[in-house]
Amino acid sequence: MINPVGSAELQPLFVYDSELHHQLSHEAESLPSVVISSQAAGNAVMMGAGYFNPLKGFMTVADAMGAAEKMTLTDGSFFPVPVLCLLENTDAIGDAKRIALRDPNMEGNPVLAIIDIESIETVSDDQMAVMTDKVYRTDDMEHPGVQAFNSQSRVAVSGPIQVLNFSYFQADFPDTFRTAVEIRNEIKERGWSRIVAFQTRNPMHLAHEELCHMAMDRLDCDGLVIHMLLGKLKPGDIPAPVRDDAIRKMVELYFPPNSAMVTGYGFDMLYAGPREAVLHAYFRQNMGATHFIIGRDHAGVGDYYGAFDAQTIFDDEVPEGALEIDIFKADHTAYSKKMNKVVMMCEAPDHTKEDFVLLSGTKVREMLGQGIAPPKEFSRPEVAQILMDYYQSIQ
């Protein structure tokens, strides 16, 4: 199996030893504590689950700046984005060196992790501006990722963490949320050796489904991991439970047995385009995938990124040898009326736009809301029915 990034074995930060977990949970109740941001909580969950291996905790400002500017930490190791715990102030901490970090996304703010504080620093406006520019390639506050990142406070608390729970993800998505540890174990149990991962924050239409089949065939893979984001999205995105139902129905009906896993991970979408694509590849290697599909405008939003920037970054900016996972570079896929099948548009040079079945997201949402199924060349009818039921329920 492919090695995790930066180590021979996965090193998740969740405390799996039950006795130690009980001891730490008890200790946490007597420690000074702070409620952290949703972004910091997502980072803690990802570290706990092994996806951010081999990080040991939240970064110093120097490491965060290194990650942003050149994807390299002060010790020379590779990481593509800052992983910060930003607080409004340290009033609740005092001079404590060990504190509890509380979850902002669950009622009662339960303890998410314990941190051993190694440094407390103030992030300057200039440093926030540099990180924003390097990671998001824009400082436009209309960009949802820029807005979320900059709405955090400026006091950075860094140090190693011990993670005690996986926030709401395990309880709300018991059939879908999986740690990198669990996915690696299931890959072994299934006997897969070449595995391609597919990232999604949306339901999968026929073109997405066929892209996965295409990648599996061309890469000679024996397994597909559909890995959906379960954290916070932007307004208007389809809720995770609906996406989950739609994707599971598609896999049940249109993939051979033991060829696809439907899983999810707990993290807030960054919408950082190219830089987020690198992060996605990073944690897909940690979960055991040997290949990762990156298509047009991967992890983008609006018109902030070029159509293939999320592919070229791997050739132009990722340090040589930083990742072992291979990237399957895909173009936009659509149903060809001439060929009567889904194709990559770049592989049909004799086609005009009219030769493809193309529907805008707005048009599809309108149709679904009116109880009209998109054409079979665009969406499987069973998937469309689940989405129609959802859109009609919110009207």
Cβ pair 158, 119 in contact under 8 A = yes
DSSP 36: P
Catalytic residue status for 258: no
Catalytic residue status for 296: no
Please report the beta strands in 55-206, taking only residues with DSSP state E, as ranges in sequence order: 57-58, 86-87, 98-102, 111-116, 119-122, 155-163, 195-200
Runs of H (alpha helix) within the chain: 18-28, 38-48, 61-70, 125-136, 144-150, 169-172, 180-190, 206-219, 240-254, 274-286, 309-316, 361-369, 381-393
> Residue 43 contacts by C-beta under 8 Å, 6 or more apart in sequence?
52, 58, 83, 84, 85
For the beta carbon of residue 22, count every other beta carbon within 10 angstroms.
12
CA 182/CA 66 separation, integer angstroms = 31
Of 98, 202, 248, 365, the catalytic one is 202
Using alpha carbons only, what angle is made at residue 238 by residues 251 and 300, rounded to the nearest 5 degrees? 95
Of 201, 218, 248, 340, the catalytic one is 201
CA 118/CA 151 separation, integer angstroms = 24
Token representation of residue 272: 């950082």
Token representation of residue 119: 């440094």
DSSP-assigned states of every residue in 308-336? THHHHHHHHTSPTTS--SEEEE---EEEE
- Residues with a catalytic annotation lie at 201-202
